[in-house]
Amino acid sequence: MNTKKSGRAAQRRWRGLTTVMAVLLVIALVGQVMVNGFRTDIDKFLGTQSSIVVTDDSVSADDLYTYHSDYNSTKELLDAIEALGEKMSEEGTVLLKNNGALPLTQEETQKVSLLGFSSYYPVMGGDMGSSLAVNVGTDADTVDFVQALNAKGFKINANLQQMYKDLEPYFVTEVASWGGSITYTRITAPSIGGVFTSMEPSQAQMAETNANWKNELKNDNVMIITIARAAGENKDYTPGVAGVNPEQNLNQTDPLGLSDDERDLIAAAVAAKEANGGKVIVLLNNASALEIDEIKNNDGVDAILEIGLPGGYGFYGVADILSGAANPSGHLADTYAVVNANSPAAQNYGNFAWTNGNRDWSMNSTLVEAENIYIGYKYYETRYMDSVLGQGNATSAVGSTDGKAWSYNNEVSYPFGYGLSYTTFTQTLDKVDVDVNAKTVTATVTVKNTGSVPGKAVVQLYVSLPYTDYDKANGIEKAGVQLLDYGKTKELAANESVTVTIVADMQNMASWDSKADNAAGTKGVWMLDAGDYYFTIGNGAHEAANNILAAQGKTVANGMTEDGNANNVKTWKLANMDTTTFSVSKAGVAVENQLADMDLNYWMPGTVTWLSRSDWQGTWPKTYKDLTATDTMISYLDNDIYEITANGDPSSVTFGAKNGLTLADLKGVSDLDDPRWSVLMDQILLEECMIRTGFGGTSSKAIESIMSPLTIQNDGPNGINSYTLGQYANTDKNSGDPCTTTADDPNLSYKFGTMCNETVIAATFSKELAAEYGRVIGNYSLWANLTIFWGCGNNIHRLPYNARNHEYYSEDAVLTVEQGTSYIQAGKEYGCIIAPKHYAFNDTEINRTGISVFMTEQQARENELRGCQAIVEDGCLGLMTAFNRVGIITANAHTGLMVGILREEWGYKGLISEDFIMSANYTVLKEAVLNGVTMTCNTGENSMEAVSGKWTYWTVENVSKDAKLMAALKQAMTWQNYALANSNAMDGLAASSTLVSVRTWYDNVITGMQIVFGVLTLGCAYMYIQSLKRKEN
Amino acid sequence: MKKQSVGFILSVVTVVAALVGLVGYLINCGTNYFANLGVDSAVVGCTVAAIAAVIVYVVVNMKGVQTWADVLPVVAAALLMAATLLLVNTRVNAIAAVMTFENNAKNMADLVSCIVGIAGCLVATIVAVISSFFDTVKE
């Protein structure tokens, strides 16, 4: 009996062990399948390589490496990044108010009291997207405010610092996540549909923690208060009280306005100053414009500094501003309104679901941008000018803060472009030359430092266009004043003068007329109205507006906020309306309407009234919600627009030719008409095109038929933040690579998510600093071997409520595009593909995957698209599209946007990736390829089975009969590889290079597991049988 | 019931967990966010086959221990492991997207059934492995 029992026990044991081994074998076998599917991502995560390029030793390093770094070591590189981060904040911090309190004296820097938890736990980057990479142990370790002040020799009250440390539980933020939450010890931005919760400790909480904290302010009476609002991708501020935590009763009327706890803190500091002397300085730590009129008007507050999100080194610059080591020269990149929710754009901001939405198609909600062209200062200054000029019902109560007649001073705290300095400047507009043939406006401005300390000055050139009866009759809108271009002086010594010459692109003062005839024989063209054009300069848009009004004979008696300087205005008269000068794009293509279907009235006539300055009251936007798509619209909203069919002659599209070229043969060939391009691309296989367009996410993989290298993609924009510097760094000193590192380099762990947010870069109004960032990125790209960088957010700040504004420059298109162009072009010098994103109209994070964005074509072209146009026309090589729809068609499938404007009008030749769209339906792969998209952001195994599994229509059998689609696929791959051939992705490659697959260590581990567990499974099974036999015996 | 052993209970738990995983997966396939991914026949096939194997194993042994049936718990556990991994494989990109770029209440709600599906299959696998060390009936 016992023998029988023990025999059965042995059976159970060996059966169980067989099961264990079999399960482990399955893990190894299925794991191999999974590894193959995610190989690229695994390689990136582990820093391994599954394929390598082998090049003949006879090829010289000079032939292999086209691009060279300005630095000899990673230390030099990181030092440059750190120095630039400091410089950005020195020039991008905006001094909004100063009664002489700043700069601090040396003595005052020794008695600083930091107030507000955000002084100790500031917002330095985004919550997701451009989040700060904290670096420790490198040659460029990141610093917060306290660390920066200490490093710069400031002395901070330690007791207050300890008090805030003790108060930490009060401002810990729990952000919900699946299965739990993430804890932040700083303020965070609300999730979509969430509310803002003020975390500033109350006076009672502070007193409870340290009953004598106010006594600390007696001696350390330089009180610096930080008010912060966070930013983040997929985050959002809801306008008005609806956006504030209802459980708090802190008299907060807007998430971007102050709470009572913040007010009380400022009041306590002001009271301490009145009692003990000293200074009260408020730092604004934000990317979305705050409502700060009460701080502006608080005489107890001596100075206000807008510091943005300063990144890992920006607080060094802020410290320099405070101490006077640097003189502020930043200017606001956005209007600071008294009440953000009163703008016309804010009337349509939120989650407005289709009544007949369908999540299968990502058909979720609508956004009707009924404000037309009037966002930011284009609204506030235009309405102001109309109120002075007595036109357009501008002084009606609609949109006013107090419900009475609209008045500029009640609506705007600080205008776009405004900023102070520790010195004073005079600027004189000497001359303006308008050259229609050259399509330029050249302004000559004399700048003189009339103060006593050195400083830099920004020259802002504005234009006011005629607003004519023709415009009113044809629905064309004109901003009263708009930025045309800008420049920045070198540092001017006291009494030093300099002449600044600005050569502006005249296209930026053209207006889109959707109804005019054009050279293409259709409708829609850029036009210049007949009439008087006013050019002026000013410290911001409002001063410019006042100058223009002064030139028109207006004074404070007419309702102006202050008299302008008519002497700084030059006029230019155009006798007749001009619809020919800009009728053909720089790429030689006749322009025409491409976005007519973005106007909701195209689909649903008479639905939308677009805001017009001809009648502010009568056209004031209503909120468009509860829209119902018609059946015709549904036929597009389902995203199945193109049907793959047998068409054309498939044999006319050559694939798989044996022409003997490699991509390296076309290294640096920038002429896409070079016949070698078509010869090379004839070699590519249809399957390669189909897999690469489908699975392009996070890296563009190698293509063996043309020897196109695997190219890593990285996200930003606050630096190449996806991988450490060492992840792909070359440690082979014999490779000839001028940017090699050693394994013991302490900087290999560095992550470059350390630059300030783009709003700070915009606020520098310095194209040179933008370019310097591009150069640093380019150098970093060479050392890190990271080529493609989604690093130039160029969507427009339609409203401050978009919590992702930190990744975009400004509310103004010209400031956006000029900074972006300077940046991208500088990076290109090093072979780095810095790509703008998100093309286009990614104006909100609410339902961004699928939201339908509606606007007029004039609005689209003069705001958002103008913020991208010059970047593309100047030859950028990469671009990321948007999540959202353009009207009812997903951006990736919108032919007018993607082909008509981007590829044809602007002549774009580079690669295009979709954003992180995972839905097979919403990816619209076939439509995207037809519209010039070169890759989606999906990943998968390098096989047709895998890509066909994701998109069932994407089979060789289907596509090979569709000549149109085949040609589009080949064209997409041509653009993709053209971009790579003109980038540093080609460094290390020669025409003779070959791609060799290699086994990684994890491949060996998996194979080993398969063998071991296979053997053990069989062994255990064998033992089971043996136990069975023993039992039978 | 007096004849039933620990293995029986574990087998029942295996079947229940696998059913939970399967139902969770099928529900997930019908959610808006994940519907585009379709239904993976391999996941369904492996899970169903595993459930069938366990049931057959239990039923056969109730009529007396059959040595040949000892292969069934091995097969069941292996199939459940395969189903779990294949399910993860089809969902990992989408999970990453929902947790980050496309994080909102609706998508997170859709994610719940996905997690239930994966968890159910994984629990079933683990319990199946454990149960293979036990008989379903007492000797």
CB contact under 8 A, A16 and B97: no
A819-to-A325, A618, A716, A793, A822 alpha-carbon distances in Å: 26, 37, 16, 11, 5
Distance CA A612, CA A859 (A): 12
Q: How many residues does chain A have?
A: 1033
**pLDDT of B121 above 50:** yes
Amino acid at B50: A
Q: What is the pLDDT of residues A216-234, one digit of tens each?
A: 999 999 999 999 999 999 9
Neighbouring CB atoms inside 10 A of A246's CB total 8
Q: What is the pLDDT of residues A677-692, one digit of tens each?
A: 999 999 999 999 999 9
Minimum Cα–Cα distance from B91: chain A residue: A918
DSSP bridge pairs for A997: A51
CB contact under 8 A, B74 and A33: no
Return the DSSP state at A392.
Answer: T
The encoded tokens of residue A386 equal: 């109309």
- Going by C-beta distance under 8 Å and a sequence separation of 6 or more, which residues neighbour residue A408? A380, A383, A384, A387, A542, A561
Measured in angstroms, the CA of A232 and the nearest CA of chain B are apart by 11
Distance CA B59, CA A805 (A): 64
Amino acid at A667: K
pLDDT at residue B104, as a whole number: 77
pLDDT at residue A176, as a whole number: 66
Contact criterion met (CB below 8 Å) for A83 and A408: no
Instruction: Work out the pLDDT band at A841, boundaries 50, 70, 90.
Output: very high
Contact criterion met (CB below 8 Å) for A876 and A910: yes
Q: What is the pLDDT of residues A790-827, one digit of tens each?
A: 999 999 999 999 999 999 999 999 999 999 999 999 99
Contact criterion met (CB below 8 Å) for A42 and A1002: yes
CB contact under 8 A, B73 and A26: no
Complex ipTM = 0.96
Q: What is the pLDDT of residues A489-544, one digit of tens each?
A: 999 999 999 999 999 999 999 999 999 999 889 999 999 999 999 999 999 999 99
What mean pLDDT do residues A456-461 have?
98
Instruction: State percent of chain A over pLDDT 90.
Output: 88
Tokens 């080194």 locate to: A313
Contact criterion met (CB below 8 Å) for A851 and A353: no
**pLDDT of B34 above 90:** no
CB contact under 8 A, A19 and B78: yes
Rounded to the nearest 10 degrees, how much is the dihedral formed by the CA atoms of A45, A48, A50, A56?
A: 140
Q: What is the pLDDT of residues A346-394, one digit of tens each?
A: 999 999 999 999 988 999 999 999 999 999 999 999 999 999 999 999 9
Instruction: Identify which of B36, B67, B103 has the shortest CB distance to residue A919.
Output: B36
Rounded to the nearest 10 degrees, how much is the dihedral formed by the CA atoms of A564, A569, A574, A578?
A: -80
Mutate to test the interface with A, among B104, B136, B138, B139 (most CBs of A within 10 A): B104
Rounded to the nearest 10 degrees, how much is the dihedral formed by the CA atoms of A800, A806, A808, A812?
A: 40
Name the phi and psi angles at A373, rounded to 5. Answer: -80, -5
Distance CA A106, CA A382 (A): 44
Q: Give the 3-state secondary structure of residue A229.
A: coil
The encoded tokens of residue A132 equal: 């700060």
Of A275, A315, A281, which is closest to residue A124 (Cα–Cα)?
A: A315
What mean pLDDT do residues A106-129 have?
95
Q: Give the 3-state secondary structure of residue A67.
A: coil
Return the DSSP state at B31.
Answer: S
Contact criterion met (CB below 8 Å) for A667 and A984: no
Say yes or no: A658 contacts chain B, CB-CB below 8 A: no
CB contact under 8 A, A234 and B37: no
**pLDDT of A3 above 60:** no
Distance CA A47, CA A40 (A): 10
